């Protein structure tokens, strides 16, 4: 608690705490830690106005301590610049950091980077109470973010010089899985590390022999097609979208923000909102049709705000398939090779079950 109070002392008086509630990882899997801060006013009672908050009635803040591994100071400055840019362009559902008394968007303390932002209203409850209305508003919110950040200044030519375009980059990762990468993952799985995950991990590796060639075949025709590049979220899924009723009132967790093609974000979010993306064999009468219908509902909601080209629509479906495969590989690498420690193991096993269900033939 001493570190928390030390960090908060860098902020203006109207950000000083009346109450501090530790939240641990708050259900997240990034390694970040969180605290809910109820601020006080000049009389010591909860404040009704928070400097830097887009909502003058808000009196609660979120303090986030990033893990030591990431991001760097420069990268966090970039992330915060993107959030501020989107807010200036009309997006109100973002945790834009409050600046310190020195005008900085974060505090460097005790080996960690810390940020303080307004507490966003809403709950990430899509998984528990999905609906077409929520599906549509989530995709609309993503389209609005892309529109708001399309003019964010990026050194596109420099970025392209440093790494391949998104489709080519994804293809290269999949092709590695057909050679040494999949074997490395397979040999790393042990029954002593997360025994409840090991059987699923082995099933996932076995499914790659069919899943990877299919994903490569989807991506290869798109490798030479230029797709638009801009700032993207790159880790947007239903747990990062907060709803109040059917409306999106918050989008959280921007640690993966980078230059990419918007199709990557669309595939990531839509793939999490529609459990199985077409074309996929249905498990019961009419299920495949229903899944395809929901997929089209999401694309229509997005394209009503930001029009999608035919090439982008094809890329979304291809990136959904390959992204699910690579997500599973990332989890296995983090757990079995890098031996990262995660606070909520049960949630990760549950998430891996869903990845496995989408990858298996």
pLDDT at 256 over 70: yes
pLDDT at 297 over 50: yes
Q: Which two tokens stand for residue 212?
A: 């990877």
pLDDT tens-place string over residues 107-132:
999 999 999 999 999 999 999 999 99
What is the DSSP secondary structure assignment for residue 46, as one 8-state letter?
A: B
- Bridge partners, 246 (sequence order): none
DSSP, residue by residue, 217-228 = HHHGGGTTS---
Q: How many CB atoms lie within 10 A of CB 79?
A: 21
pLDDT at 320 over 50: yes
Q: Which two tokens stand for residue 138?
A: 């989530």
pLDDT tens-place string over residues 240-252:
999 999 999 999 9
pLDDT tens-place string over residues 67-106:
998 899 999 999 999 999 999 999 999 999 999 999 999 9
pLDDT tens-place string over residues 187-242:
999 999 888 999 999 999 999 999 999 999 999 999 888 889 999 999 999 999 99
pLDDT at 292: 84
- Higher-confidence residue of 349 and 25: namely 349
C-beta contacts of 2-9 below 8 A and 24+ residues apart: 3/109, 3/110, 4/35, 4/63, 6/109, 6/110, 7/63, 7/107, 7/109, 7/114, 7/116, 8/37, 8/63, 8/116
**Domains of the chain (ranges plus CATH)?**
2-118 (3.30.200.20), 132-359 (3.90.1200.10)
- Higher-confidence residue of 79 and 157: namely 79
pLDDT tens-place string over residues 26-78:
777 778 899 999 998 645 455 544 444 444 445 899 999 999 988 999 999 99
Task: Identify the three-state secondary structure at position 65.
Answer: strand
Of 151, 91, 114, the residue nearest 7 (C-alpha):
114
pLDDT at 286 over 80: no
What are the b/e assignments for 231-242, b being 16+ CB within 10 Å? bbbbbbbbbbbb
Q: Which two tokens stand for residue 86?
A: 């989107």
For range 280-289, the mean pLDDT: 47
Residue 309 vs residues 82, 227, 302: alpha-carbon distances, Å: 25, 9, 12
Q: Which two tokens stand for residue 308?
A: 């999608």
Distance of CA 278 to the CA centre of its chain: 22
d(CA 208, CA 205): 5
């Amino acid at each position: 608690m001493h570190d928390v109070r030390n960090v908060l002392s860098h902020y203006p008086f109207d950000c000083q705490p009346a109450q501090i509630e530790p939240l641990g990882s708050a259900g997240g899997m990034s390694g970040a830690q969180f605290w809910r801060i109820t601020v006080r006013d000049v009389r010591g009672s909860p404040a009704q106005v928070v400097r830097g908050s887009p909502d003058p009635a808000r009196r609660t803040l979120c303090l986030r301590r990033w893990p030591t591994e990431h991001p760097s100071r420069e990268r966090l400055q970039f992330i915060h610049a993107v959030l501020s840019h989107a807010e200036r362009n009309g997006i109100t559902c973002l945790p834009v950091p409050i600046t310190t008394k020195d005008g900085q968007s974060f505090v460097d303390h005790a080996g960690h980077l810390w940020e303080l932002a307004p507490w966003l209203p809403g709950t990430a409850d899509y998984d528990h109470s999905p609906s077409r209305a929520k599906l549509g508003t989530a995709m609309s919110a993503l389209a609005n973010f892309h529109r708001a950040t399309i003019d964010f200044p990026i050194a596109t030519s420099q970025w392209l010089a440093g790494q391949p375009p998104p489709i080519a980059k994804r293809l290269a990762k999949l092709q590695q899985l057909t050679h040494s990468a999949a074997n490395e993952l397979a040999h790393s799985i042990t029954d002593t590390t997360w025994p409840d995950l090991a059987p699923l991990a082995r099933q996932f590796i076995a499914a790659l022999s069919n899943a990877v060639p299919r994903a490569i075949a989807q991506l290869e025709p798109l490798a030479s097609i230029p797709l638009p590049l801009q700032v993207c979220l790159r880790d947007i899924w239903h747990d990062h979208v907060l709803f109040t009723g059917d409306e999106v009132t918050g989008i959280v967790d921007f640690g993966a923000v980078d230059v990419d093609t918007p199709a990557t974000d669309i595939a990531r979010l839509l793939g999490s909102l529609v459990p199985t993306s077409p074309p996929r064999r249905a498990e019961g009468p009419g299920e495949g049709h229903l899944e395809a219908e929901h997929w089209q509902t999401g694309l229509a909601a997005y394209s009503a705000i930001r029009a999608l080209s035919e090439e982008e629509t094809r890329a979304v479906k291809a990136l959904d398939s390959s992204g699910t495969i690579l997500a599973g590989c990332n989890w296995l690498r983090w757990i079995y090779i890098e031996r990262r420690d995660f606070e909520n193991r049960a949630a990760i096993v549950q998430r891996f079950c869903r990845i496995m269900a989408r990858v298996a033939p």
